[in-house]
Structure 1
Amino acid sequence: MARINFTTGRLAAFACPADKAQAFIWDAGVTGLGVRATPRGAPSYIFQREFQGKSPRITIGAVADWSISHARERAREMQRDIDQGRDPRLVKAERQAEDTATRAAAKAAELTVGEVWKLYLEDRRPLWGVRHHDDHLRLAKGGGEKATRGTRGRGVTIPGPLHSLMSLRLTDVTASVVEAWAAKEAKTRPSSARLALRCFKAFLNWCAEQDDYKGQVQPVNPAKTRRTREALGKASAKSDVLLKEQLAAWFDAVRSLSNPVMSAYLQMLLLTGARRTEVLDLTWKDVDTRWKSLTIRDKVEGERKIPLTPHVAELIASLPRLSENPYVFASATAKDGRISDPRAGMQAACAVAKIEGLTPHGLRRSFKSLTEWLEIPAGVVAQIMGHKPSATAEKHYTVRPLDLLRIHHERIEAWVLEQAGIEFKFDEQSEKAADTSH
């Protein structure tokens, strides 16, 4: 092979003839260093020397990207590898792998909490309910959207409790950062911050289990410190509940509401003991009038069936069915197609009834409390409400069919309406059977 001393001018003038597939020139300064050109491709530095009876050709890089001195130095490194019995091709592959790992580590170190949070939600979504997923979105939301209510006069929504953490690098989330966040959030919204902390703690645990992110989080979950827990405090037990003697006033006020959908909704909350969103999400296909049952979307078990009691059935039958709207408690103006916030209706009714502090969830608590007057079996009440069984016998040995639940549930409804002074016809056989079974 003829060898020439590489210069910038000579390399710039070198080109592959059009009638050849490739052409080479070789450097006189470093043995094995050459330049390869093709009719279409840009010239590249190569290194070619004998190793273990073969002459492997290794590309160094484009002439446009490498200076002559750097190409010569890389060729000398490859020659040293051969002299030490190392295959320069393997050495090159190892270096490329190391470079890739280094770049990946550098990129991972720049990942923000918000970027990984989105991946976390995407990964966990198949295992979560809609409400749980929506909670995570809401907690990290940026705010600033126009709103007509719930903004305390600001006119725009405020950022979620976790939003301030989303811009941080994952590597910068330390115990002191989370403690400072907790201290700030505790001043204005401790309840939301406690939920946010639980979600964020689970997120960091997930990160620690992922190969891509475990090197970016602290060895000990920074959201689990004592100071963080103390800053947010403990949630106080809620005790808002309807008393037996308040039923008449409450029902009178609720049944007098100008919105019949809201009126029916609030009554159904009390008479079924279901969760607020479980009733809101009820669709017409969940109402089985033939077998007198309701299918409730349950956050614990996925779904459960409860009896469609007579008064609840009458309330549902009185509601209008909007075309192409699947929801029982539909709203033509609401974004989701159904009533979204029952608190205003609840507060208006309670103001008329002169009952203070009662919330929509308090109606679920009231259902459980009022059943004590009838000495309904605790397992029956738990099954209707969608609570997990608390005893071994309940978990593994007691199976109650819907008809058995119906006997007790209709008895509960009849008694509540009786206390409220509402006249309604019930199946007397069901009440007699309930007395016998109890």
Structure 2
Amino acid sequence: MPKLTVAQVASLSKPGRYADGNNLYLKVSDTGAKSWTFFWRHKGKRPEIGLGSATGDGKAGKVSLATARQKARAVHDLLSRGIDPREERRKRKRATFGEAADQLFESLKPTWKSPVHTLQWETSLKVDAKKLRSRPVAEIDVEDILKILKPIWHEKHETAVRLRGRLERVLDYAKVKGWRSGENPAAWKGNLQQLLGAKKKLTRGHHKALAYADCPGFMEELRKTPGVGAKALEFTILTAARSGETYGAVWGEFDLDAGVWTIPGARMKGGKQHIVPLSPHVLGLLKALPRRADNPYVFPGRKPGTTLSNMAMTKVIKDLDLDVTVHGFRSSFRDYAGNQTNFPREVCEECLAHEIGNETERAYRREAAVEKRRDLLLAWETFLA
């Protein structure tokens, strides 16, 4: 049987069906509209499945002759495996975002070495994107993605950025599986970039701090305050850490026997690993904290795999009716160390993960100063008590 040509597909106008071979036909309706269809024999009947609108050049989202033949071969493949192509199409239309997300998660899981990474992906796809899970993946559009991302885009920007990337991966996976078509609504460039914009820039300036002489009184009140936020703030003050270092702390970073907290460079402002010696009170605080099987964070949020809200420590300070910032306690510590102790300036600065001197000097001090910093932080703990 002679096959159709591109020219014929473009020129045929008489209503009817025109065979291309291998069960593929071009249908021309009474109105002149053209479409591709596939017929096959099944239990004495001739079922039919449409393969899209037809045009000779594949423009305007319609199906060209070459593409129609590819689709016909795909239907033949299903039939050869005993699969009804109509049921397969219905199944694909019913596929949900949750099904696509879970399949992608399982395919990627063996490639992740860190259990934290695995848990973060699971949290993104099952908790953060919960509202999308029951939706047909073929129907998800830009508005659906914006409803998930907009509420956290500025307040939890890093979380939102990671979530967007994971949503994009799921929707790309669904497209490859044939469960959706068209552009990816979670794509950034030329898409969400125009609707969400960059992270809101913060105004730089001095952080309000409490005079170090007033810190013991504040600590006494803080230790009477219940909740994970209060424990996180106490830990942050005693270790002179940045709030982000505390919020992101996971149990795997701690060696409680050696009394050290090793923060990887990826989590440090300066991009270099920082070792924090832990005082006796901090070790006691950590050992008293419950550990959750569904959460690797030392100061966990309510949902599995999430950390405490980045406003939790600030709320504790406000509830205690104090007009200072969490970061300001690092200034309180530095003022105390400079005015009330004889520790060298370098040791004081290294407690704050500030770099001083050249590369060789810093390398030497990294090895030699951990115990000196332990002594300084112990003095700070004693002062606060």
TM-score (norm 2): 0.51
Q: Which amino acid aligns with 1:114?
A: G
Which of residues 73, 96, 100 is equivalent to 1:112? Answer: 96
Equivalents in 2 of 1:129, 1:369: separation in Å?
35
Q: Match for residue 236 of structure 2?
A: 269
Q: How many residues were matched structurally?
A: 290
Identity, % of aligned positions:
11
Q: Say which of 92, 97, 100 aligns to 2:80.
A: 97
Once the two structures are superposed, the pairs formed by residues 17-416 of structure 1 within 5 Å of their partners are 66=43, 96-97=79-80, 100=83, 102=85, 107-125=91-109, 127=112, 129-141=114-126, 160=128, 162-173=129-140, 177-179=141-143, 181-182=145-146, 186=150, 191-192=155-156, 195-196=159-160, 198-205=162-169, 208=172, 212-213=176-177, 216-218=180-182, 222-224=186-188, 226=190, 228-233=192-197, 234-237=199-202, 243=208, 245-256=210-221, 257-258=223-224, 265-270=232-237, 271-273=239-241, 275-279=245-249, 281=251, 286-289=255-258, 292-295=259-262, 306-308=275-277, 312-316=278-282, 318-319=284-285, 328-331=287-290, 340=300, 347-352=315-320, 354-356=322-324, 358=325, 362=327, 376=346, 403-406=367-370, 409-410=373-374, 413=377
Unaligned runs of 5+ in 1: 1-60, 71-92, 143-159, 320-326, 425-438
Paired AA for residue 200 in structure 2: A
Structure 2 CA distance, aligned partners of 1:210 and 1:378? 53
Change (3 A) 1:411 1:220: same
Please report the TM-score for the alignment, with normalisation by the length of structure 1: 0.46
* Map of 1:79 onto structure 2: none
Unmatched 5+ stretches in structure 2? 1-40, 47-75, 302-307, 339-343
Residues 1:252 and 1:208: Cα distance change in structure 2 (over 3 Å): same
Query: What corresponds to 1:44 in structure 2?
Result: none
Q: CA deviation at 1:250?
A: 4.2
Distance change (3 Å), C-alpha of 1:199 and 1:279: closer
Aligned equivalents of 1:278 and 1:194: distance in 2? 12
How much has 1:315 moved relative to structure 2? 1.0
Once the 2 structures are TM-superposed, how far is the Cα of residue 178 of structure 1 from its aligned partner?
Answer: 1.5
1:287 Cα deviation after fit: 1.3
- Residue by residue over 1:349-383, the C-alpha shift from the partner in whole angstroms, topping out at 9 and shown as x without a partner, is 45446224x35xx479869998998875999679x
Distance 2:78 2:251 in 1: 57
For the residue of structure 1 that corresponds to 2:236, the secondary structure is helix
Q: Is the 8 A contact 1:296 1:305 kept in 2?
A: yes
What CA RMSD, in Å, does the superposition of the two structures yield over aligned residues? Answer: 5.7
Q: Deviations over 1:384-403 (max 9, x none)?
A: 59xxx9xxx97x99856853
Q: Which has the higher contact order (CA 8 A, sep 6+)?
A: 2
CA distance in 1, matches of 2:136, 2:348: 49
Q: What's the offset of the Cα at 1:314?
A: 2.4
